[in-house]
Amino acid sequence: MKTPTDFTKLMTNYLSSYLPLQRNVSSNTISSYCDTFRLLLTFLRDKKSKNIDRLKVRDFSPELIRDFLLWLEQERACSISTKNQRLAALRSFFKYVEVECPEHMLLCQQIVNVPYAKKEQAAVNYLTVKEMTNILNQPNQATAAGRRDLCFLSLLYDTGARVSEILNLKARNVRLDDPAKVILYGKGRKLREVPLLPNTALHLERYMQEQRLTAPENLNRVLFVNRQGNPLTRAGATYILQKYVQMADVSGHISPHVFRHTKAMHMLESGINIFYIKDFLGHEDISTTEVYAK
Order the strands of the 191-195 sheet from edge to edge.
174-175, 181-185, 191-195
- Report the catalytic residues: 162, 187, 257, 260, 283, 292
191-195 vs 181-185, strand pairing mode = antiparallel
Angle at 146 between CA 142 and CA 147, to 5 degrees: 80
CB-based contacts of 174: which residues, under 8 Å, 6+ apart?
Answer: 182, 183, 204, 208, 213, 223
| Side-chain-side CA neighbours of residue 289 (13 Å) | 20
Distances from the Cα of 158 to the Cαs of 19, 28, 202, 205, in angstroms?
32, 25, 12, 15
Distances from the Cα of 69 to the Cαs of 90, 114, 116, 226, in angstroms?
11, 10, 10, 40
Q: How far apart are the first and last CA of the chain?
A: 58
